[in-house]
Each structure stands twice: as C-alpha cells, then as structure tokens.
Structure 1
C-alpha cells in the first residue's frame, strides 16, 4: 500500500526530506510536502511532473497549528488519503548550556519537538479513523549520547523528547492499525551540521565513526521508506539506530 505520504522539511536540496521525497515518488507515492522554505512548492511540482504522481507543496511553520491545519487541509482536498507521515524538519544547536539562553532552548524545542506534536495531532485522527497509518519521526544519536560532534544539550533534549513521545503515541494508536517509529541517525552529510561538511571539517566527524565515513541522506530515506511500507506493520514504538557504529546497543 502506498497512498499519500506527508513529509516535513522537504525543500532543502541536500536534506533527508528531499531525498525521501525523491525516493518515494518513483515508487508511486503521492506526496504532501511541508517546509518553511517556499521552494517546497517547486520541489513538489517537479516530482509530480517527472514521476506522474500527485504532489503538493505548502509553506508552513510546523509548530503553528493554524498553518499546519491549512496546509494539511489543502493536501486532503487535492491528494489521495494520507497513509504516512514522516517528521524530518528540524534545527541543530551547537550552543552549550552555559552559553544558551531561554530563546535558544525555546526555538530548538519549538521546531524539533512541538512541530512533531502539532503535525501528528493534525494528521493522526484521519489515520485512526481509516484504521491504517505509518508515522516515522527523526530522532538523533545525540539523544542517546548526550550530544554529538556538533549539537549539544538543547538539541539532545529535543530529540530525546521525540523518542519518548513516539513510544507513548505508538501504544495509544496501535489498536487502530497505526505504527509509530523513530530513526536516530548519527552524522549524515547534510547542511544541518553547521553547513557543508568540508574537507577541513570532515576529520572531526569521521574520528567518531567506526565505519570511517559519513552517512548519506539516501540511507536514511531507504529506512524511512521501509518503515512507512505495508511490510512494517508489526514494528511500532521502535528506535532504529543508523549511526555507523558510533553507538552499539
């Protein structure tokens, strides 16, 4: 079963959301793409034209319930029924607690955590009513290790909250045929790591990775595609570590 997948954070050319959209469209998924970047509408139009699927893009702050409601309502009127939601939109934070202020904390938590709540809150009733759905949210190895090569405590907290929320939600909606899972990547070659990982910056990242290379957006997208597929119906409340061996167990 494919249907319509909603992906947040789908506009960035080098981002995981864009990679997932480009993977799902050839497989026959219809797409509702959300991003704060207006370019998301062009991304959707290009995918629709290239792959013959229905795709719509909408500009929205994912932590704004009214904006999310308007965007999802537009998707619901233009696309087949929603069967999957993938929460990818997020921001990083390299600021340590001693240097962070409340505004830093609230910005990261609002985008990374409140945004997941708001979008799930809007889309989940339809999944439950139809008795089928898949939700995947992006966590991070930083939540397990207390931070990473780039991001620190505030980011770790926001991603840890996503894991806890997803486990609780998984139990709530399991009887309704809806699964909820988390992908926790380590260092993926995207611009969220403070911009491009240049040759000068790369050794600091590689030093922590037993596999000796960065992860790719394609690898994260491949796992997300599996988890929103029909064959993943017996998996829920799980966190999948995709981390090149930086954390085992």
Structure 2
C-alpha cells in the first residue's frame, strides 16, 4: 500500500537514504530541506523546523500532493560541538530548538491526521551519543537523549489510537557530520566501535523502513541502536 510519508531533514545523509528506501517500497515521499540542495525525484519542501509556521506549511504542501501524512520520520538536526566552558548559551539552545523542539513541532502537526485515521508510524532519529555521552557534545547529546523521553511519552499517549513511536539511535555514520571531523577524530572514534567502521546511511535507513512497516506494528516505545556496538551496555 502506497503511503504518504514526510521526512524532515530528508535532503541528505540518513534522511535521504530513508526517503529513497521508502520510495523504493512504493510510498509517496516528501522531504524537507533547509540549506542543502533539494534531492531529485522526491517532493522537496523548503522548511526550517525551528519555525512552526514553516512546519505547518510543509505539511500542507505534502498533504496537497500526497494526502494526509501517515508516516513521519524526524531526521532534521544540527550540531554545534564545543567544550562546556566554551559553549555559548545560544549554541546550546539552538541545537535543542532544532533537534528536540523541531521534532515536537513536526510530531504535533502530524498527529492531527493520524488521530483522525487512528493509525500512524513515527520514527525519530536520535544518536548513540544520547546513551553514552561524548565530550564536547553536551548540547547535541542532551537534545538526542530528550528525544527518547519524548518518544516514549508519545508511545503511551497515542498508542491507544494505533500510532507507534520509535527511536533509531545511529552510531557514527558516513554523513556530512562525519566528513566535518578531522582524520585524528575519526580514528579515535572508530577505535570505540566494535565493528571497527562507520555505518553507511543505507544501514540506518533499513531500520527506519522496518519500523514503519506492517511487520513492526507491535513495536512502540523502542530505542533501536544501529551503532556497530558502540553503545553496548547503555
């Protein structure tokens, strides 16, 4: 069955890989983008998730083209890494506003149609850092950890209406964020991964696709690590 899917931050990296995977499965996929170029072959909607009006407009456009959103994947995120003593309050709140409050805006907007339909799938992309922490990423880790509490609260709140909420927690993945790291930083981080390599976006996308599938209909409130074992024990 072809479903209406909206992926925030779906113009590159994990979001784009998830969009391609769901499109290949027959879904009608819209993605939001902010600064990146819109990807070819997808309904691309410019949207800054820190602006509620833009989020509402993005949903309206997706609804006009594809119908009410049945699957929401929240991938939009930023990082502003810095040691605590050098981190500004603006950098801390900016990361939370995009990564956490941006997801809240999208989920709240999506829930309207899902409640009417008494059905829906929501997947939020967190991070292994949310579970194990990382020096210099207090803002990023806090925002990604908060997504877990938010998701599990929504799983309890909207589960009776057949709407599932789950979290995927990727480890270090070959995306723009990883490309911004120095070779020395990459080598240090890879040594902490039992599988000894970075993930590919398609590997994260496969888990997202499963969680939105009929086969995952009885999974909700779960946190699925896709991190090569980096977060074991957390």
Residues 25 and 68 (structure 1), Cα distance of their counterparts in 2 relative to 1, 3 Å cut:
same
Deviations along 1:55-114, whole A, 9 cap, x unmatched?
421101112110111111111111133210000010123212111111001110011001
Alignment match, 1:138 = 125
Alignment match, 2:46 = 59
Q: Indicate the SS of the match to 2:177.
A: coil
Alignment match, 2:28 = 30
Alignment match, 2:19 = 21
1:10 aligns with 2:13: no
**Given the two structures, how large is their TM-score scaled by the length of structure 2?**
0.94
Structure 1: 5+ residue runs without aligned partners? Answer: 48-54
Distance in 2 separating the partners of 1:68 and 1:204: 38
1:161-240 maps to which residues of 2 (within 5 A)?
161-193=146-178, 195=180, 201-240=185-224
Match of 1:246 among 201, 205, 230: 230
Aligned-pair Cα RMSD in Å: 1.6
Deviations along 1:115-166, whole A, 9 cap, x unmatched?
0000111111101110110000011111111226xx5111110001111100
**Does structure 1 conserve the Cα–Cα contact (< 8 Å) formed by 2:178 and 2:186?**
no
Report deviation, 1:199: 5.3
Report deviation, 1:39: 2.3
Q: Count the aligned residue pairs.
A: 233
Deviations along 1:27-74, whole A, 9 cap, x unmatched?
11101111113622xx2xx32xxxxxxx42110111211011111111
Distance in 2 separating the partners of 1:85 and 1:146: 26
**Does structure 1 conserve the Cα–Cα contact (< 8 Å) formed by 2:2 and 2:26?**
yes
Structure 2: 5+ residue runs without aligned partners? Answer: none
**Does structure 1 conserve the Cα–Cα contact (< 8 Å) formed by 2:4 and 2:29?**
yes
1:81 aligns with 2:50: no
Alignment match, 2:105 = 118
Report deviation, 1:200: 5.4
